[in-house]
Amino acid sequence: MPRRLLLAVPLLVLAPFAHADRKPKPPQPAAQYPMHVTHDSITIAAEPGDTKETRPDTRLDYFGHGLLPIRVIVTNDSSEPVSLDDARIHFIASDDTTVPAATADDMERRFFTVKSATGTKLPLDFPIPITIGKKDFQKKIQQDDEDFGFKTTTIAPHTTVAGYLYYDIVDLPTPPLSKAYLELRRVRFAVSNRVIDNFEIPLRPSNETSPSH
């Protein structure tokens, strides 16, 4: 799992992300994205959120706290459903460090120190102090996953499904996307149960127009 690095963060990080209507852009067919790989009529693309323009409009600032969002887009052009239930989707850095996708627990830890995990009272001009604590962050992480994560892990024939995953890049070489790739293992056909070849999608910073590999 990603390193359990605990960072102290201002609890007012919530404020800039307070508006309500949050929806990711509908995904295009995976082959239309610059970073993609195709095996057995299945195309998987990666869209790193390393710039403001490519990051999802989440409630919490994951990127600002060392968690790189990557949108994974899967297009099934075969005649059989594809399953991601057993899939392992890892970020492989240029020094071969393997980083699994962050879990909700990993994300919660990233936003807390031991001191702040009990909640912090903000000195505002209200009769009762407002407390922002762990449950509030848990709720926002869950809401972000509901809005921006995968809605299903089964991709029907001739459809495209997408969702955001997050990777701990704090201790990786800089820039983390240079000579890195996204590896997907155990993607399989749902009916025959046949595992598809590993997908190794070369990554690069979003502002680069051509691969550096």
User: Which of 158 and 118 is assigned the larger pLDDT?
Assistant: 158
From the number of C-beta atoms within 10 Å of its C-beta (0-12, 13-18, 19+), residue 31 rates as middle
Instruction: Tell whether pTM > 0.95.
Output: no
The residue among 207 and 26 whose pLDDT is bigger is 26
The alpha helices in 116-183, defined as continuous H runs, are: 134-148
Q: Cis ω on the peptide bond leading into residue 211 (within 30° of 0)? A: no
Q: What gap in Å lies between CA 65 and CA 6, rounded to an integer?
A: 10
- Looking at 67-132, list the stretches that DSSP marks H as alpha helix, in order from N- to C-terminal side: 104-110
**What's the DSSP call for residue 25?**
P
pLDDT at 3 over 70: no
Which has more pLDDT, 6 or 172?
Answer: 172
**Domains of the chain: which residue ranges?**
11-202
Residue 162 has pLDDT above 70, yes or no: yes
pLDDT digits 0-9 by tens, 33-42:
999 999 999 9
CB 200 within 8 A of CB 116: no
Structure tokens at 42: 């299945």
Confidence band for 212, pLDDT divided at 50, 70 and 90: very low
Sign, CA torsion 110/115/117/121: negative
* Residues 213, 204: Cα–Cα separation, whole Å: 9
SS3 category, 123: coil
Q: Are 68 and 49 in contact (CB under 8 A)?
A: yes
Number of H helices, E strands in the chain: 2, 13
Range with the lowest mean pLDDT among 24-33, 89-98, 114-123, 127-136? 114-123
- The per-residue pLDDT for 207 is 83
pLDDT for 54-93, tens place per residue?
999 999 999 998 999 999 999 999 999 999 999 999 999 9
CB 74 within 8 A of CB 30: yes
Residue whose token pair is 């075969």? 78
Query: CB under 8 Å to 189, separation ≥6 — which residues?
Result: 78, 80, 81, 82, 83, 196
Whether the pLDDT of residue 178 is over 60: the answer is yes
* Closest alpha carbon to 58 in 31, 93, 22, 25: 22
